[in-house]
Each structure stands twice: as C-alpha cells, then as structure tokens.
Structure 1
C-alpha cells in the first residue's frame, strides 16, 4: 500500500493538537473509528492506552526501531504458520503457539486488545480474525492508520524491547468465524453458490490468468464474486475507507445483506480477512473466512464436488474503487 507518511507529516506534535487554523489534524480521528465498534483512532488510543493491550504486527525491524508503549510483537509468520490448516483429514487447528505468544504479551482472553501495523492493511485484520477464531472474549480493535498515524501525530514511542509478561491465555476455538473447505463445498455446486462468496484477490487471479503457487488449477470458486481487498482501503491516507464508501462497495454494489451468511477467501485467507472484518463491522450475523482459501481449493477436484470456474471475464467483478 502507498505510504501515508508524507500526507501525515503536518500532524506532528501532541495528539489531538490543532494546526494554525484551529482545525483538527488529519490523524486525530478517522471516519471508520467514529462509526465501527472494532475500529479506534489515535485520539481514542491516547486516552485509553492504560486500559488495553497492544499487538504490533509490523516486521521485527520496524518494531525494534520504535513502537507504541506497551506493545508486543505479533509476527506474521506465527499467525500464518501455526494457527490452522486444511489437511486430507479435514480442518485442523492448533492454537498453542499463538496462545503462548499472547501470554508473553500479558494478554488474557478477556482483555481488550488493539492491533496495529504500519497503516491499515491485511495483516492487522488477519490478526483480529485470528484472535476471534481463538475465542477471544474481550474487544479486539484495529488502530485505523496504524503506527504511521500515531507517530506522525506526535504519539509517544519507545524502542527498548518489551519485557515478557506472565499471563495465561486459554484459547476456546470459535469455528463460527471460519469457513472450512467442506463448508464452502456444501454451499457450492456446478451452477453457482447458495451463499455470497467473496473472492478478495485481483481480477487476474480470479480469472485464473495470474497463477500463484504450485497448484493443480487456477480460477475462482464457482459462483464467487470478485472484490479485490485493496478497494476497502484508502491507500493515500493508509486507513480504511469511510463507512459511506464501504457501504457503497459492499452493500450497494456487491449487493450483500447483513442477514446473509457470507464467506470471504483469497489465496491464503490473509487478504480475505479484510472482507471478513468489514462485514463484521457492518453487523453481519454470519461472516466467515475460508482458512484454506485458493491455496487449498486449487489442489482439489471437481470430481469430489469442489467446483471452480476459470477464464477471462467469467463471473462477476465489483470494481467500484479499482
């Protein structure tokens, strides 16, 4: 995503301070934070810093150079490699490694947690989805705009490594946020999908033109609608689009309704977590992330009921903000 650093340079100083014209700085609040329950901005975080736990999903080098006080590192590889996978015997989850990391960060299952990255992007929402899948009981929120906004607005930062904490994190897996391959297969046949299925990859991947990974087939789940994840993010500001824009994208143009079951997928469930998060904020009763995504579906066979479609201009592409 494009960096928001230059656009936010004018916000340096105390968080929430006004510029020379008496206007609030760009980093003070964000439209999504004002509307959505699980989105916060720098103003809110400054006022509630002592009441939440922080997880930083940036790379290790960036984390070492400077972090928000109290933040602990939550590495991408740990989220991606140790949580769950689709196997020949079905979906298997092992939360022990993540639970240990959360314990070392002093996090318990009922704590309120704020996740941040460099800006607002896919690893942040994947971390939030992961904690929800672990059955986290407290509120897990996104810092809209991430560390870039916080730092540019004059928020306090520290560089020394955080000390390991003593806590016990007990995961209680919540499968209601996860779509397994069998859940998807049960809702798809050769004629289409019985529930909305959202492909969060690029149109080229969706059509099978951009072939990624050592897979047997390329294209999209039959009946899926393509909605590239980048459309949900304002890349100039480095944060989520406004609720009004997201409503236009997801509810109007994609035609989704909060009373439907919806499934998001991509290549590895990471990009799809953006869609999962947005729909969750819109109050969808049942929204799921296909954990295996195309890296799993692309290895399967239509003979076993795992239908797919391939070819340029097949399916439906929603390109509101493409």
Structure 2
C-alpha cells in the first residue's frame, strides 16, 4: 500500500501544462462528470464555501498547504472507529469526530479532501466521513495539492485556526460491508454479488503475503482490479470518465442492476478507491469491506468464510495494468 501511494506521489510532478502555463490537471474531465470530484479551477472559485481536509504527512502539511485546510492524519482515519469482533461489527468513531471538531467542521458542512495527488488516502478519507454519517458533500480535489501549487494558487504555512464544533457522528452502515454482510453473499464456489479485490494480483493469488494471518488469497468469487488502474499516474489525477467506464462497467462488468457491490483490499484503504469510483459511476449500493483481508485472512472456511488461493485462480481485470 505504501509503495503504491509513493509511486503516485512521485509521478505527480509530470503534470503537463496548458497554454496559460497552468498544469493540465487544473481542470479535469472527472471534475466535470462526477458529483463528488472537483478540480483546482473550481476550488479557486469556491474555496470560501467549503471546509478543507489535507491528508498529506505532517512535514508536507507544515511546509505549505491550501489556506484554511486542516490536517486529517492517516492514523486518525485508522484509529478504531470500527472493528470486527467475535460479537460482530462494532463502531466507535470518536477519534474521527474529535479531529473534525477541532477542524471546525460540522456535519452539514461541504468538505473537499486533498492529498499530494489523487490516490488512496484521499478516497479513504471521503469514505470515512461518509461512514460516520457526514451530511454535507465530501469531494475529492482531483490532482491534489501538486496541481494547486503548480498553478500558482495561494498557499500558506501559517498555523490553521478554527472555532471548535461539537461533531456528533452517526455511523452509516450503508457504505460499509461488514464481515457477515460479505459472508452471507459468498458460497464455497462463487459470490452472489460483485466483489472487487483492489490489491495487486500477487496478493490476490496469495503469493504476496502480508501480515501475520492464517491464510492468503482472495474471497471466493472476487474479481481482482488493482486500484492503481483507476488513476492516471502521470497526471496525478483520476482517469477520464470514459476510461473508468471501460474499466469498471465494460471490462469488470459492473453495470448497476440493483445488487450491492463490495470492494476490499488488505485494510480497507485501497478498497476505498473502488468504493469511490463505483459511487461516482452511479452504483447505488457500493460498500467497502472495512475489515478486508486483514480480517478475512484470520477466519475459517469451516465457519463459512470461503477463500480461494493459487496462481491463475479467479478473474483478473488488467485493462490499464
């Protein structure tokens, strides 16, 4: 996961330029087509009407950021706001609520999330806010801070300030696929709904083994679609809507027929990219498996948690691999 994020950040400098000298990703096709994607041009015109969350590391945030932005750390996102337990799914979004409160964000505020480019932690932040019941819009800044800065837009290193709010979360399980939600839709031979494994193919086949787990491979019936295929690494932005439709709707066969679609990875972070893309493409019931393989890999087929392993197993979509 870290290597994938680093690769995306490293390519964010290859932005290309428009005739006016601004980076090509200053205006993006995804921002024109999708409800929850904005570009630097839009943000430049609407910055005063939204709250900003920056998911970059602390050193990058301290050096320069978009004025008004508050940092949403990856540790805060991952800090036990939900967990699979022997007694089922439990949620405690207190750490996230405290972060949003200190940033002066209320549940009805419209929020824009950005990182260095468009990648996995940005979509995980958007998923996280949806999961804790945020009522305002939560959008991705396509191209991220790299584009904003390269376009000559205003930045600051001054300490952010805000009037603290009393953020009261209310978990929305409509975007979350729990362990049992997945298990109820998976049999020994197949899955009853589309399940997308957003990890690398080596992880999907059980060759790249991560974590101290009992088993490695993929949820039976899941299709492998590595998350990086949805991102234009050279431009540091989402692929065009036409490319995303080809990847997800045509090649992965995910037209919306009213059934849920589930995404997952190792910890839910990479899975959030798929959740976000499906949501933008109009999938009415897209869910991210919060526990992902870090949870499923600890379970047993004897209890109905089926998995498949081995090179060449399953289905791999590699359109933009």
Distance across 2 between alignment mates of 1:178 and 1:119: 25
Alpha carbons of structure 1 residues 125 and 5: separation in structure 2 relative to 1, 3 Å:
closer
Uncovered stretches (5+) of structure 2, i.e. residues with no partner:
1-6
Give, in angstroms, the shift of residue 18 of structure 1. Answer: 1.9
Distance across 2 between alignment mates of 1:226 and 1:241: 18
* 1:8 counterpart residue number: 15
Distance across 2 between alignment mates of 1:172 and 1:181: 20
Find 1:213's aligned residue among 193, 211, 215.
Answer: 211
Give, in angstroms, the shift of residue 167 of structure 1. Answer: 1.2
Give, in angstroms, the shift of residue 8 of structure 1. Answer: 3.3
Q: What stretches of structure 1 move > 3 A for 4+ residues in a row?
A: 8-11
Give, in angstroms, the shift of residue 307 of structure 1. Answer: 0.2
1:303 aligned onto 2:293: no
Distance across 1 between alignment mates of 2:226 and 2:296: 18
* 2:128 counterpart residue number: 130
- Contact in 1 for aligned 2:143/2:236 (Cα 8 Å): yes
- Contact in 1 for aligned 2:16/2:235 (Cα 8 Å): no
CA deviations 1:136-160 (Å, max 9, x no partner) are: 1100000000000100001100001
TM-score, with length taken from structure 2: 0.95
- Contact in 2 for aligned 1:38/1:139 (Cα 8 Å): yes
Give, in angstroms, the shift of residue 5 of structure 1. Answer: 4.6
Uncovered stretches (5+) of structure 1, i.e. residues with no partner:
12-16
* 2:172 counterpart residue number: 174
What do you get for the CA RMSD once the two structures are aligned?
Answer: 1.3
Give, in angstroms, the shift of residue 48 of structure 1. Answer: 0.4
- Contact in 2 for aligned 1:4/1:148 (Cα 8 Å): no
- Contact in 1 for aligned 2:215/2:298 (Cα 8 Å): yes
Distance across 1 between alignment mates of 2:66 and 2:46: 13
- Contact in 1 for aligned 2:13/2:146 (Cα 8 Å): no
Distance across 2 between alignment mates of 1:270 and 1:124: 9
* 2:20 counterpart residue number: 18
Alpha carbons of structure 1 residues 128 and 5: separation in structure 2 relative to 1, 3 Å:
closer
Give, in angstroms, the shift of residue 28 of structure 1. Answer: 2.5
Distance across 2 between alignment mates of 1:276 and 1:34: 19
Secondary structure of the residue that 1:27 maps to in structure 2? helix
Distance across 2 between alignment mates of 1:5 and 1:297: 34
1:151 aligned onto 2:158: no
Distance across 1 between alignment mates of 2:13 and 2:214: 43
Work out the number of aligned pairs and report it: 313
* 1:14 counterpart residue number: none
Distance across 1 between alignment mates of 2:80 and 2:162: 20
1:117 aligned onto 2:115: yes
Range that drifts further, 251-260 or 149-158: 251-260
Secondary structure of the residue that 1:91 maps to in structure 2? strand
Distance across 2 between alignment mates of 1:261 and 1:10: 40
Alpha carbons of structure 1 residues 295 and 5: separation in structure 2 relative to 1, 3 Å:
closer
Distance across 2 between alignment mates of 1:96 and 1:25: 39
Distance across 1 between alignment mates of 2:188 and 2:79: 32
* 1:261 counterpart residue number: 260
Give the 5 Å matches for 1:39-118.
39-118=37-116
* 2:311 counterpart residue number: 312
Secondary structure of the residue that 2:262 maps to in structure 1? strand
1:140 aligned onto 2:147: no
Range that drifts further, 219-228 or 78-87: 78-87
- Contact in 1 for aligned 2:64/2:157 (Cα 8 Å): yes
- Contact in 1 for aligned 2:64/2:156 (Cα 8 Å): yes
* 1:274 counterpart residue number: 273
Secondary structure of the residue that 2:288 maps to in structure 1? strand
Give, in angstroms, the shift of residue 6 of structure 1. Answer: 3.5
- Contact in 1 for aligned 2:15/2:236 (Cα 8 Å): no
* 1:196 counterpart residue number: 194
